[in-house]
Structure 1
Amino acid sequence: MSSQFLKHTKPLTTLAVGSALISALSPVAIAEEVQSDTTNIDAITVVGKSEEGINAVDKTATKMDLSLKDTGRSVVQVTKEQIEDTGARDVKDIAEYATSINTSSTADRRVIIRGIETNIDSFMVNGLRSMQGGEAGTGSRSPSTYNVESVTILNGPDAILYGSGVGGGLINVTTKKPKEESETTLGLNTRSYVSDDTGNFKRNQVSVNIDSTGPLSENVLYRVNAELTPDGEEFQDGRSTDEQAIDVSLTFKVGENTRITPRFEYINRETTGGSSYSDGVITSNIVNGTLGNTTDSFGSIIDRSAYYGSPLDKGVNKSTTFELNAEHKLQNWTLNATAAAVKTESSAQDLYASTSLGSPIGATTLERKWVYSQGEDEYLLLDTNAQGKFDTGALKHHLITGVNVRNKKVKFARNFQDNDDALGANTINVLDPSDQTYTLMPDSLKDVDYKTTTDDEINLYLKDRISLGDFTLALGVGYTHYKGEEKSASDGSFDQTESNFIYDAGIVYKVTDDMNVFASYSQGFEPIDTSTLVEYGQDGVDYKPEESDNYELGFKGDFFDERLSTSVTLFYINTKNATDKIDVGGDKDVLVQRSGENFKSTGIEINALLRVTDQITSQINYSYTDASDTDGDDEGVQADYTPYNSLSIWNSYAMQSEPVRFALGMRAESDSNDGDYNVPGYAEFDFGTYYELDQWDISLVVRNMFDKSRVASTPNGILVEGNDPRSINLNFKYRL
C-alpha cells in the first residue's frame, strides 16, 4: 500500500461477519482508538495484521473483549467513517445496508430482524436499553448519528446477557467518548430532495455540528458533541423537524487502572406535521377501488410529496439521559459498571384518516378525526460485570459474570375525537391534498388520564470461554425475573410475574490463524407486554412468555493475503407461544395465544469484503430468509417485511495520486408481504464522492440515485408510506 494512498485516503474496512456499510477508514484513527481503549484485556494482536475487519474488538455480542473472529455469532459492526460515507442521519439509514434487517415499517420502534419483529428493547445505547421516544406512544426514536462512534447489530436473540425482550436481535449504538489527544471539528450537513414530485431543491435540511475532545487536565478528558437542525424539512410538504441535541462526557483517570466517565445527553425535537398516523400517501389501487377486491397490490404511489394531515399537526419530544461508567483493571480481571437514567416527555396532535369513519377504498374524499397522545417515560438501568482470565491445568478460562437491572415506567394516554363530531368537518381530497377542511382540535382531548405501566427486571448471567488448543467452548447460564404492572385511575391495576433460567452454548475452532469455524445456540425470552394483556387479554387465559431458540453455524476468515475477508452464517430460529390480536367483531380485538412451537426462521447470511487493489474495494452482503408460521391461518406464509432475498453492494475507488474517492452502492430486496398485500421488490442505488485533506473533508452523497418510487409500508388501512425520494447530501467537516 503506497504512502501516497495512506496519506490522502481512508482505506475501506469492514467486519467480515456482515458489515452493513462500506466506506473508508483512516489507519491513524484506528491507532488512536486502540491506544485510548483501556478495556481490551483480550484483544487479539497478530503481527502484520491491523485490528480491523474480523480482527476488530467489539463487546456487544458477548460483553467480553473479543475480536469479532473469535465471537461465535453473526455480528455487524459499522464505524463512524462508514456512517459518514453513506450520509446516514439515523440508525434506520444505517440498517439499509444490513441485509437481515428491515426497517420499512411505520413506527421507529418496529424493526424486523430475521423475520422476527423486535420492539424498543432491541435498541441500545452503550449496551443499555434505549428509551428516547419518538412521537408520543411510539417508543424508541431511531437514534441520530451525531454522537455515534459505531453501531453494532447482533442478529439473533441473547437473553442471557440482555434479559427479556431482545427478539430477533439487537442494535447497539456506541457513543463517542473522550480522547487523550485534542481535536475539534466543525461540521455542516445538508440534505436536499431532488425529484419531480418534491419540487427539486424545494425541500431541504441543514444541520450544523461540533465535535470537540481532549484533556482538560492531566487526569481529566472531555468530549462535547452538539448538533442543531433548525426547520429540517422532510420530503412531504408540510412536515419538518426542529431539533437540538448535545452530548457531553468526561473521563476521570483515577490512578493507572481506574476510569470513571459520566455522560449527559439532551435532545429536544419539535415536529411540524404528523406522526405515523398520518404521514402516509395514497396509491393508485386505493383510488381505483381495486385494493383487496381485484388485486393484492397497493399499486403505484400517486404523489410522495402529498401530506394528508392538517397544518395544525405537531409534536414535541424531549429526552434527557444521565449515564455513568466506571471501570477498574486488576492484574487479570476488569470490573465494569454502567448505569443510566433516561427521561422522555412527548406529546402529539394529529388529524388523520380514520378507518372508523367509513371505508375509503375508491372514495375521492377522506374523512379524518383528531387524536391526541401524551407520554412520560422513565428508564433506570444498571449493568455491572467482572471478566477475567485464569487457568485450571491445561484449560484456559475467560469468564464473565454480572447482573443487569432495569426499571421502565411508561405513562401514556391517547384520546380520539368522537366520530359524530369529526364526520364531515375534517375532509381532504384524495387527489388534491391542499383541498381540505379542518377544525381546531378539541381542548377536551388534552385532558389525559394516564395509564402507568411499570416493568422491573433483574438478570443474572455467567459465561465461561474454555480453551484447549485450537478449540474454545463457550457455556453460559442466566436467570431472569420480570414483573410488569399497569395502573389506571379508571381501570384499577394489573400485574404479571415471570421467571426463567436461560442457557447458551457455543464452540469456536481455529482452523488456521486466518480462519475460524463456529457453532452456537442462544435463547430469547419475551413476556407479553403488560399493556397489551390489559387491553386485549381474555379473562381466565394464562398467557405464557414467547420463547425462541437460535442456532447458528458458520465461519469467518481472511483469504488470499487478506484480499478477501468473508463470513458465512447459517441460522435457524424457532419460537413458541406466539400471540395475535384477533378481531372478534364489534370493533373489539382479543389476544389469542398458540401454544407450542409455531414460528420458524431459517436462512443464510453471506458477507464478503474484496480488496481488489489498494485503491478498489468491494463489499457484498447477501441474506436469504425463510420465515413463517408453522400453524394457524398463516402457516407457510412469509413473515411481514421479510423478503426472501436481500443484497447490498458497496464499491469504493480511491485515486492513487489525489485525495479523492468515489463509491457506488446498491440495496436490493425481493418481494415481501405487508399484511394481506404484496410489496414489490426493489433496487436502489447510492453514489458518493469524497475529497479529504489534512483539515477539510468534503463529501457529496446521492441516495436513491435513480429516484425509484415505491411503497415501503402501511401506517393504517388507508394510507401507505413511501420511500425517501432522491436526495443530495453535502457534508463539510473542518478540523481546527
Structure 2
Amino acid sequence: MRGRGGVFRRMFVLKPIYFSSVLLASFSAISQVAVCQSNTCSEDKSTPIQAVTLQVQDGSGATVERAAVEVRCGATVYRVQTGAHGEVALSLHPGSYNVSVQAPGFAALQQENVALSGGAQPTVLKLQVGSATDVISVTANTGFVPYASNAGSKTNAPLIEVPQSISIVSELEMQSRNVITMNEALRYTPGVQADEFGVEPRFDWLKIRGFAAETFGVFRDGMRFNSLSGKLDPYELESVEVLRGPSSVLYGQVPPGGLINQVTKRPSAERRTEVGMQLGAFTRREGFFDTTGSIDKNQVWQYRLLGVLRNSDTQTNYTPDNRRLIAPSFTYKPSDRTNFTFLGDWQHDGTRWSQFLPASGTLYSNPNGVIPVSTFVGEPGWEKVKRDQASAGYTGDHLFNDGWNLHSNYRYQYINFQGSTVYGTGFDGNSTTMVTRYAYELPRWNRINTLDNRALRRFTNGDWEQTVLFGYDYQHVAIKSQQAFAQVADINIFKPVYGVTTIPNMSPYLYQDNLLQQHGLYAQDQIKYRNRLIFTVGGRQDFAKNDIADFLAHTETGHLDQRFTGRAGVGYLTSSGISPYVSFSTSFLPNAGSYVYNATTGQSTDPAKPSDSRQIEAGVKVQPNTWNSYFTAAFFQINQTNVLVSNAAFQTTQTGEVRSRGVELEAIASLQHGLSLHGGYTFTATETLKDQTAANIGKWLSQTPRNQVSMLADYTVANGHFSGLGGNFGVRFVGTNAADSANSFFVPNYALLDAGLRFGYRGMLFTVNATNLTDKRYVATCSGLAYCYYGYARNVIGQVKYHF
C-alpha cells in the first residue's frame, strides 16, 4: 500500500487521458447532371478531361517552388505542390475553378472563377510579398499533408528544411475523423502516446517519446497552455502540431520528449458559415456553429465566431461530458504589411473524475467476474468537476520596408477548476469485492500571462540565403491550489450502493500560492547554400523563477534557475524532395515546488535544480514534387539528467538519469483521385540508467509502450454520380507497457479499429463515425495493482452539417 503523499500526488499528476471517439467529415456536393455549378465555379463534365498546367510566380516574375495549390469546384478538389519552375500539372474537366495558393513569405492568394482548360501555355498565378502574419502563417492547405509551420522554426520554414521531427494534424484530417478531443487528434501520430491513462474526461494526458508532456509540454499558438487545469475543444483548432525532442531554444522550459502546439482558428476573408448537430452513444447531444468573413468590401476587417453546446454522458456511470463554448475573433488588416488579430474564448465544462480500478477484475481474473467498463466507485451525489476558463489575446505583425518582420503575441487566460471525488485504492485486505476509498478535493485557480515578441529578416547574397530570428518571451503563471482528503467507507465494486456514505470533514494537506515566471532571450540563424545545404543554429538564455507561499506551513520560499540551451542541425535538400538531416539539441525543465534531501541538515529543504536533457537525432524527410505527400524517418536518443528519485525512506535526491531512444516513421499522402493516407510506426526504448532504488535500474519507464502502429485511409468519390460519397477506416496498435518503475507487471498490447461514412448533398453533409468499432474491452495502462484504467469503449456519433 502506498503512502498517502504518493497516492495524492498520483491523483493529480498521474490521471487518465480523456478520449471519446469518432471520425469523419469533408466537403462535398452531389450532382447527376453534366455540368456542376456553384455561385463561384463551374465544371463541364460533358467535356473530356484535359491536361492543365499552372505556374506560380512572385511579383518579379520568378517562379516559386513548393507552393501549395488547391483547385476546387464542388466535390472536385485537387491539392498539389509546385515543382521545378514553379509548375504543376493537373488532369481535369475544363471549367472555372476556385484556386488558392500559399507559400512561405507570401500573402495567401485566393481567386474565384479561374478559367482552366488544356493548352500549350500555363495559367500563371501571381503571389505578392506577404505581411509578417503571412510569413508566420501556420500550414498551407494541402489536405492531410503538412507543408510549413511555425512549430519548429518560428519562421514558417517548410517542414522539410527543419532539422527536427515534426508532425501536423490538419483541420481537414480532424474533420475527416470527427475528432472530439485534442488527444484523439493525435491517435495516428507517431511518437505520441495519446491514451496514457485510458478514459479521462477532465484533462489531456499524453507522452512524447516516453516523457510526460501534459504539465509543461502543451502550448496554444506558440505560448504555454496549462493542460492540467484547462482543456481546449478541437472545434476551436485549425491544426495540432507536434514538435518532437528537446525544444527549449525556442520555447524555454519544456519536457525532453517535445511539445504539442494547438493552433486556434483565425478569421478568413472568404465568407462562409456552417451549423450542425451531433447525436451519438452515451446520449450525446451537441450543437455547433462557425461563421467567418469580411465586414467590409476591402477586406480590411474580418471576423469569426464559433460556438459549441453539448450535453452528454460517457461510458462511465454518473460521469457527464457537458460543455458550453463561445469564441469570437477579429482581424484588422489595413495593408499587406500590417495585420492585427484579436482572439478570445469562454468555456464551461461539467464532468467527473476518472476511475481507479483494481487489476483483479480488469487486467486479471476475479472470482466474481469482470469489472464492467461502466463501473463508478465514487459518490454521485457529492462528486463534481466544474471548470470555467477564458482567454483574451492578440497577435500583431508588421513588415517594414527594409525587410524586418516584427511579430508580437500575447494572451491572458484564467482557469478556475473545482473538483471533488471519491476514488478507489484497491481491494480491502483479502476481499475480492470490497474496495477501500478516499474522498479528495482539489480547487485550483490559474492566472496565466504569456508574451512572445520576435523580429526576423531574410537576406539573399548570391548563392546564400539567410533567415535571422531574435526573440524575447515572458511567462507569468500564478496558481493557487488546495488539496484535502479523508477516508470513506468501502464499496462493493460489483454491486455498488451509493448515497449511504457520509463524507467526513476533510484533512487539508496542501494550500499554497505558486508563482512561476520565465524570461527568455533567444536567437536563431537558418542558412541555405544554393537552395540545397541548410544549416540551423540557435541559442537561448532563460531565467525561471519559482515563488511558493505555503499557507499550512506559514513559509515563503523562492529560487531562480538559469539555463542556456541550444540547437544545431544540418540538412541537405535534393531536387527530388529528399532531405537527410542530423541535429543536436538541449532542453531544461524546472522542478518547481520540489525539494531535495540535504545530508548535512537531515532535511529536505534544498530547492531542486532543473532536470537537463540532450538529444541527438538523425533522419530523412521526403516531400516529392510530383505528388502531394510527406514521409519522415527519425532516429533519436534522449538522455535526461538531474532526475528526482526517492529511496525507501522517502528521501529525494537528483541522482537519477533516464534514456529514451527509438525510431519513428510517418507517411502522409493526399492523392488526386480522392484517397488520403496517414500511417505511422513508433519504437521507443526507454530505460532507467541511474536511480536510488537498484531494482529500477535497467527497467522501462512506466506507461510507455515500445511499439505503436497506426494506419488511416480516407477516400472520397471526386467525380460522377456518387461524388461526395466517402469514408475512412483506421487501425491502431499499442504495444505492451510497464505498469510501474520496477516493471513488476505489464499491461498487454491491444489493437483497435475506427471507421466512418459520409454523404454530401447541396451543402449538407451527413456523417457517422465509430471508434473502437468492435467494442473491445481493454486496459490502457496501470500505475499499480490498485490503479488500472480502462480504455475507450465503442463510441458512435452521427453528425449533420450545413454549409452556406
Q: TM-score with structure 1 length normalisation?
A: 0.85
Residue 317 (str. 1) matches residue 387 (str. 2): yes
Match of 1:381 in 2: 450
- 1:336-485 pair list within 5 angstroms: 336-354=407-425, 359=428, 362-391=431-460, 394-417=463-486, 419=487, 422=488, 426-433=489-496, 435-436=497-498, 438-442=500-504, 444-445=505-506, 450-469=511-530, 470-485=532-547
Give ranges in structure 1 of 5+ residues lacking alignment: 15-26, 134-138, 193-202, 291-298
Secondary structure at the aligned position of 1:269 is classed as: strand
Q: Offset at 1:270? A: 1.7
One-letter identity of the residue aligned with 1:74: S
Question: Do the aligned partners of 2:484 and 2:506 also contact (CA within 8 Å) in 1?
Answer: yes
Match of 1:516 in 2: 579
Q: Offset at 1:693? A: 3.8
One-letter identity of the residue aligned with 1:205: R
Q: Offset at 1:564? A: 5.7
* Structure 2 CA distance for aligned equivalents of residues 455 and 533 of structure 1: 19
Match of 1:22 in 2: none
Q: CA 1:150–1:582 in structure 2 vs 1: closer, same or farther (change >3 Å)?
A: same
Q: CA 1:43–1:375 in structure 2 vs 1: closer, same or farther (change >3 Å)?
A: closer
Residue from 773, 776, 796 that aligns with 1:708: 776
Residue 123 (str. 1) matches residue 190 (str. 2): no
One-letter identity of the residue aligned with 1:224: L
Q: Offset at 1:705? A: 0.7
Secondary structure at the aligned position of 1:512 is classed as: coil
One-letter identity of the residue aligned with 1:364: T
- 1:252-651 pair list within 5 angstroms: 252-271=332-351, 274-276=352-354, 278=355, 280=357, 283-284=360-361, 302-312=371-381, 313-331=383-401, 332-354=403-425, 359=428, 362-391=431-460, 394-417=463-486, 419=487, 422=488, 426-433=489-496, 435-436=497-498, 438-442=500-504, 444-445=505-506, 450-469=511-530, 470-491=532-553, 492-530=555-593, 538-539=603-604, 541=606, 543-559=608-624, 561-562=626-627, 565-584=630-649, 589-594=650-655, 598-609=657-668, 614-632=673-691, 633=694, 634-651=696-713
Q: Offset at 1:205? A: 1.2
Question: Do the aligned partners of 2:566 and 2:586 also contact (CA within 8 Å) in 1?
Answer: yes
* Structure 1 CA distance for aligned equivalents of residues 762 and 618 of structure 2: 44
Match of 2:31 in 1: none
* Structure 1 CA distance for aligned equivalents of residues 362 and 783 of structure 2: 16
**1:229-258: CA deviation from partner (whole Å, max 9, x where unpaired):** 12x101112111221011111111234421
Question: Do the aligned partners of 2:371 and 2:493 also contact (CA within 8 Å) in 1?
Answer: no
**1:32-57: CA deviation from partner (whole Å, max 9, x where unpaired):** 99438853449999xxx985676622
- 1:191-202 pair list within 5 angstroms: 191-192=280-281
Q: CA 1:347–1:234 in structure 2 vs 1: closer, same or farther (change >3 Å)?
A: same
* Structure 2 CA distance for aligned equivalents of residues 365 and 455 of structure 1: 42
One-letter identity of the residue aligned with 2:451: L
Match of 1:242 in 2: 322
Match of 1:221 in 2: 302
Residue from 109, 124, 127 that aligns with 1:35: 109
* Structure 2 CA distance for aligned equivalents of residues 249 and 446 of structure 1: 44
Question: Do the aligned partners of 2:394 and 2:410 also contact (CA within 8 Å) in 1?
Answer: yes
* Structure 2 CA distance for aligned equivalents of residues 557 and 50 of structure 1: 18
Match of 2:152 in 1: 61
Q: CA 1:53–1:389 in structure 2 vs 1: closer, same or farther (change >3 Å)?
A: farther
Secondary structure at the aligned position of 1:385 is classed as: strand
Q: Offset at 1:365? A: 1.2
Question: Do the aligned partners of 1:156 and 1:168 also contact (CA within 8 Å) in 2?
Answer: yes
Q: CA 1:692–1:97 in structure 2 vs 1: closer, same or farther (change >3 Å)?
A: same
Question: Do the aligned partners of 1:9 and 1:661 also contact (CA within 8 Å) in 2?
Answer: no
**1:479-536: CA deviation from partner (whole Å, max 9, x where unpaired):** 011111110223211212110111111112112242222112221101112156699x
One-letter identity of the residue aligned with 1:514: G
When structure 1 is superposed on structure 2, of 723-732 and 574-583 the one drifting more is 574-583
* Structure 2 CA distance for aligned equivalents of residues 378 and 679 of structure 1: 38
Residue from 790, 794, 798 that aligns with 1:722: 790
One-letter identity of the residue aligned with 1:88: V
Q: Offset at 1:9? A: 5.4
One-letter identity of the residue aligned with 2:706: Y
Match of 2:269 in 1: 180
One-letter identity of the residue aligned with 2:794: R
When structure 1 is superposed on structure 2, of 244-253 and 522-531 the one drifting more is 522-531
* Structure 1 CA distance for aligned equivalents of residues 512 and 141 of structure 2: 53
One-letter identity of the residue aligned with 2:216: D
**1:382-413: CA deviation from partner (whole Å, max 9, x where unpaired):** 00101111245753210111011001111000
* Structure 1 CA distance for aligned equivalents of residues 206 and 261 of structure 2: 13
Question: Do the aligned partners of 2:79 and 2:143 also contact (CA within 8 Å) in 1?
Answer: no
Match of 1:664 in 2: 729
Secondary structure at the aligned position of 1:450 is classed as: strand
Match of 2:250 in 1: 161
**1:314-341: CA deviation from partner (whole Å, max 9, x where unpaired):** 1211011111111111242221111111
* Structure 2 CA distance for aligned equivalents of residues 368 and 524 of structure 1: 40
* Structure 1 CA distance for aligned equivalents of residues 101 and 144 of structure 2: 14
Secondary structure at the aligned position of 1:83 is classed as: helix
* Structure 2 CA distance for aligned equivalents of residues 58 and 555 of structure 1: 18
Q: CA 1:301–1:605 in structure 2 vs 1: closer, same or farther (change >3 Å)?
A: farther
Q: Offset at 1:368? A: 2.1
Q: CA 1:408–1:279 in structure 2 vs 1: closer, same or farther (change >3 Å)?
A: same
* Structure 2 CA distance for aligned equivalents of residues 114 and 215 of structure 1: 42
One-letter identity of the residue aligned with 2:109: Q
RMSD across aligned positions (CA):
3.2
Match of 1:136 in 2: none
Question: Do the aligned partners of 2:470 and 2:524 also contact (CA within 8 Å) in 1?
Answer: yes
Q: Offset at 1:190? A: 2.8
* Structure 2 CA distance for aligned equivalents of residues 103 and 427 of structure 1: 32
Match of 1:205 in 2: 284
Secondary structure at the aligned position of 2:574 is classed as: strand
* Structure 1 CA distance for aligned equivalents of residues 708 and 213 of structure 2: 19
* Structure 1 CA distance for aligned equivalents of residues 688 and 617 of structure 2: 20
Residue 113 (str. 1) matches residue 113 (str. 2): no
Q: Offset at 1:615? A: 3.9
Q: Offset at 1:31? A: 4.8
* Structure 1 CA distance for aligned equivalents of residues 774 and 161 of structure 2: 40
Residue 682 (str. 1) matches residue 761 (str. 2): no
Question: Do the aligned partners of 1:191 and 1:727 also contact (CA within 8 Å) in 2?
Answer: yes
**1:534-580: CA deviation from partner (whole Å, max 9, x where unpaired):** 99x95365633111112221111245932764221111111111112
Residue 86 (str. 1) matches residue 177 (str. 2): yes
One-letter identity of the residue aligned with 1:579: L
When structure 1 is superposed on structure 2, of 653-662 and 665-674 the one drifting more is 653-662
Question: Do the aligned partners of 1:691 and 1:699 also contact (CA within 8 Å) in 2?
Answer: yes
Match of 2:37 in 1: none
Secondary structure at the aligned position of 2:234 is classed as: coil
Question: Do the aligned partners of 1:301 and 1:709 also contact (CA within 8 Å) in 2?
Answer: no
Residue 653 (str. 1) matches residue 712 (str. 2): no
* Structure 1 CA distance for aligned equivalents of residues 325 and 211 of structure 2: 32
